[in-house]
Amino acid sequence: MRLALLVLLVPSIAMAQPRALEVRSLGGSCGETTRDVPAASLRASANMRGEVTIAITSMRFYCAPAPRFDASVRDDGTIVLVAREPEAPVARCTCAHDVRLRLRVVPPGIHRIEVRFRDEVLATGEVGVANVRRR
């Protein structure tokens, strides 16, 4: 039984190109203006349906509207979330923003997560996903 569970958590090596994931915003908030915005941090959890919920705290660069992301899985198993450019030019604000996202159809495996804006990595984390189908 343990061996079967370990096999579920090994990332798929057979992926030839990054695979797009469905991203849904679960909301967010804009904190108080501060002089020094702390570094962004990331928490992630997975459910048994292949969905990953990601909470990013102290995300910089956005004030309004909330950021939109494109997500994909690289062939090494890394999930990359790239914040899209704002629709209207937004100056860097000094607010600490919290963002919650849900990714769907994440392949089984242990995934490293990178959150990026332009060429900068804002936050990293890790999550294990085990898809279990009901019979």
Is 9 a domain residue? yes
Is 134 a domain residue? no
Distance CA(69)–CA(85), nearest Å, equals 9
Domain range for 71 is 2-129
Is 135 a domain residue? no
User: Is the pLDDT confidence value at 17 over 70?
Assistant: no
What average pLDDT score do residues 80-88 get? Answer: 78
Is 43 a domain residue? yes
Tell me which amino acid residue 52 is: V
- Reported as a single tens digit per residue, the pLDDT across 35-67 is 555 677 888 888 888 888 888 887 765 555 667
Q: What is this structure's pTM?
A: 0.65
Is 64 a domain residue? yes
The domain tally of the chain equals 1
Question: Most confidently modeled of 14-28, 29-43, 58-72, 118-132?
Answer: 118-132
The 8 Å CB, 24+ separation contacts for 14-19 are 15/73, 15/74, 15/75, 15/107, 16/75, 17/75, 18/72, 18/73, 18/74, 18/75, 18/80, 19/72, 19/73, 19/107
Is 102 a domain residue? yes
Is 79 a domain residue? yes
* Predicted pLDDT of residue 67: 72
* Predicted pLDDT of residue 27: 55
